[in-house]
Amino acid sequence: MKEAVIRLENVWKVYEMGKLKVPALRGIDLVVNRGEFVAVMGPSGSGKSTCMNMIGALDVPTRGKVYLAEHDISKLSESDLAQIRGKKIGFIFQTFNLIQTLTALENVMLPMVFQGESAEKRMKRAKELLELVDLADRMNHKPSELSGGQQQRVAIARSLANDPEMLLADEPTGNLDTKTGHNVLEFLRKLHKEKGKTIIIVTHDHEIAKKAQRIEVLKDGKIVR
């Protein structure tokens, strides 16, 4: 049997705006198995950002259940969610979200601090990860001294710091030119193929979505294909 890394069962998310209730997700069912490369695609307003928040344990549903590695996370407290996020999920953001005052090496080491790793282990793993993304020669540079593509590769290295079960990439090429974006996507495909990483990309771009094994299309808060 395939092992589900993330499973959403009849997930609803309803935002209350005064007396008005606005459903962003309307009963979504989604399963991503270990080792899959899945794209969640949809236009602006389709609910894909809210869906990403559910998949990434950044929020809890109004109704329904979310299982991460078969643990129901839909009722957990924020502190428990934060611990699970740190161990199970690696995030890659459109805006990189690197800390500008830290070097590439220090940025990659940071997630391991919150998991209690020793300084020696943090340093060793961060160096290995920067070598993996071909940035060993830039590890002492700060983000302002790196190109957009290099910053995104640092972000990918950081996402791998705690050896997560799943990588969740939110519009990972949105701030990159076409060629650099293609290179970043090819690197993610390489991680999937050679390292067996489970990868979920959230995007509005069909060309990016086509790189995945499977595409889930969102419209009006529902998966339509």
Per-residue H/E/C for 40-107 = EECCCCCCHHHHHHHHCCCCCCCEEEEEECCEECCCCCHHHHHHHHHHHEEEECCCCCCCCCCCHHHH
CA distance 119 to 186: 32
Residue 83 pLDDT: 83
Cα–Cα distance for residue pair 166/152, rounded to 1 Å: 17
Structure tokens at 220: 């009006």
- 3-class DSSP state of 127: helix
* Per-residue confidence (pLDDT) for residue 1, from 0 to 100: 60
Sign of CA dihedral 88, 45, 225, 181: negative
Residue with tokens 């060309």: 207
- Could you give all domains of the chain from N- to C-terminal order, each with its CATH number? 37-60+77-223 (3.40.50.300)
Q: pTM for the complete prediction?
A: 0.90
* Stretches in the chain below the pLDDT threshold 50: none
Predicted pLDDT of residue 69? 77
**The pLDDT of residue 70:** 78
Bridge pairing between strands 20-33 and 222-223? unpaired
Report the C-alpha gap between 186 and 93 in whole angstroms: 16
Give the Cα separation of 56 and 166 in Å (integer). 9
pLDDT one-digit tens code per residue, 78-93:
888 888 888 889 999 9
What is the spatial distance between Cα 120 and Cα 138, in angstroms, rounded to a whole number? 20
